[in-house]
Structure 1
Amino acid sequence: MTTAMLESIPFLITRPAGKADNLLASLDSLGVGYLYQPLITTAQVSLKQQDQQQLQNAAAVIFVSVSAVNSLQNQYDGALLTAPLFAVGQTTALALHRWLGREVIVPEDQRSEGLLQLPQLHDVSGKQLVVVRGNAGRELIKQTLVTRGASVRYVQSYKRQPLPLDGALLCQQWQLAGIRCIVATSNEILQQLFNLVPSANQHWLQQCDWILVSPRMQESAIALGIATERITLADNANDSALLAAISQLQREYQ
């Protein structure tokens, strides 16, 4: 790869493997230069008998990610999932619809905050709700629904784990490539970048532009030393919103 080629790569995409394919294909079709480096991967977690009972008894089932859907689909009979279905984002909703062929309720504001504004999740007193997710993650959905009188249980269908990467080497490669903007779609990815890159090189991270997907992420980025003016907030974490934000910065870079 020549120096001229390296200088034409302004964007670093960090979405997990399996979640970036459509975005990368769109960037390729538009001729936008990027490097792709996932930082975390997912592994399926076997369902317990208790998990299966909770899914069958639930008054509603909420899915927080595509990985939650795919990992459950691999080990659970969808015919047993008869409760109303909710998804935090449109991509997750589409994955559910492909699997079950049923209506999925998804908020216009594709975040936990948007999900909790849905009228169907306000009158939940006395109901048993299930949230299908990975390890850890935000507690906002459960905490809010419990305050509304619901009983909320987690079903963990997968776990996220960091990839074993050489942060010093990667940072050097990113700088040589001329990366100007880093696209991160979760606080976990944002923090993992700063965990990977040695402290001596974190000033470079702070000087990059960033595309993030929520005000909460913006607050985390500012706490890590990234200036507000270097942050662009995409409307949400789906491919079309990320592509719009990348395209806008691409125009500014030309």
Structure 2
Amino acid sequence: MTVASDWPVLITRPAGKADQLLASLDEMQLPYLYQPLITTQMVPLSGKAPSLLQQADGIIFVSVSAVSCLQQQVDCRELTAPLYAVGSTTGSLLQKCAGREVLFPQDQRSEGLLALPALQDVAGKHLVVVRGNAGRELIKRGLLERGAKVSYLQSYKRVPLPLDGQSLLDQWRQQQIQCIVVTSNEILQLLFQLISAEGHSWLWSRQWIMVSPRMRDAALELGIPEQCIFLSANANDQALLDSICQLRGSRHV
């Protein structure tokens, strides 16, 4: 759906991670344009991966891609350490793959994961974070401050799609995009890299839905006015849909 009226929203979540949100927008007949900016690719596990997983006192998965790309190379049913996920979607997939309980927070951000009771007393424990090629440093930093040993295990990488920034900007202007939904700092930074400096004034004039105070801080550094930033309760599809509806309501559309 690409209706050019009635306060259309730009959704930038990676392919495969926005299906429920887009279906809900369709069902509610809310106008949007879907344009993913990155995709994910599986990365072969390092030689130390099996021993890291076997010796871990806990394994944290940061995304659906972290689970699916590990599961393609390791049988998650053989993992014996306690399992954690940043969000409910990741947790549900991991529970299906591992066949046992996975702990995940209601607040589906790094801050929410760090608030889990099971991750408070981790001094001396070795925790493995399964992730992509970067990100989630807050999780590592928070656990290190509690005396844990933390190792990263990369199961996938995020790859920017080959896109023409000027063509995208022309399309978004034509579609009269009013609000942009971004769910990671990486996507936010990529938007400003794709669009030339001449187009940044257009980006600054949009409404933005983001998912964490850290993203808001990054947006402010990029020049987005604070009054244009709306923080979603978390990054799951229902919270993003609620934010879109709430922001639309405040615009009296």
Q: TM-score range by the shorter chain?
A: over 0.9
Paired residue type of 2:148: A
Is 1:86 the equivalent of 2:84? yes
Structure 1 position 108, deviation (Å): 2.4
Distance in 1, matches of 2:165 and 2:238, equals: 29
Is 1:60 the equivalent of 2:53? no
Q: Residue deviations 1:167-203, cap 9 Å, x none?
A: 0110011001010000000000011000000110110
Partner of 1:27: 25
Partner of 1:74: 72
Structure 1 position 119, deviation (Å): 2.0
Partner of 2:237: 239
Structure 1 position 253, deviation (Å): 4.6
Distance in 2, matches of 1:238 and 1:167, equals: 27
- Unaligned 5+ residue runs, structure 1? none
* Aligned residue pair count: 252
Q: Residue deviations 1:126-148, cap 9 Å, x none?
A: 21111000011131211221222
Choose from 37, 40, 48 the match for 1:50: 48
Structure 1 position 219, deviation (Å): 0.9
Structure 1 position 7, deviation (Å): 2.8
Structure 1 position 20, deviation (Å): 0.7
The 3 A distance-change label for structure 1 pair 101 and 253 is farther
Distance in 1, matches of 2:123 and 2:114, equals: 14
Structure 1 position 116, deviation (Å): 1.3
| 1:9–1:177 Cα contact (<8 Å) kept | no
Distance in 1, matches of 2:77 and 2:113, equals: 25
Partner of 1:222: 220
Distance in 2, matches of 1:175 and 1:253, equals: 21
Q: Residue deviations 1:15-38, cap 9 Å, x none?
A: 000101111001000000000000
SS in structure 1 at match of 2:135: coil
Distance in 1, matches of 2:246 and 2:142, equals: 35
SS in structure 2 at match of 1:98: helix
SS in structure 2 at match of 1:49: coil
Structure 1 position 152, deviation (Å): 1.1
Q: Residue deviations 1:5-63, cap 9 Å, x none?
A: 42346100000001011110010000000000000111100112311111111111001
Provide TM-score, normalisation by structure 2. 0.95
Partner of 1:200: 198
Distance in 1, matches of 2:99 and 2:89, equals: 15
Partner of 2:139: 141
Structure 1 residue ranges, 4+ long, deviating more than 6 angstroms after superposition: none
Distance in 1, matches of 2:175 and 2:186, equals: 24
Structure 1 position 89, deviation (Å): 1.1
| 1:213–1:237 Cα contact (<8 Å) kept | yes
SS in structure 1 at match of 2:48: helix
Mapping 1:99-114, distance limit 5 Å: 99-114=97-112
SS in structure 1 at match of 2:247: helix
Identity %, equivalent residues: 59
Distance in 2, matches of 1:204 and 1:170, equals: 12
Provide TM-score, normalisation by structure 1. 0.95
Paired residue type of 2:157: K
Structure 1 position 222, deviation (Å): 1.1
SS in structure 2 at match of 1:109: coil
SS in structure 2 at match of 1:62: strand
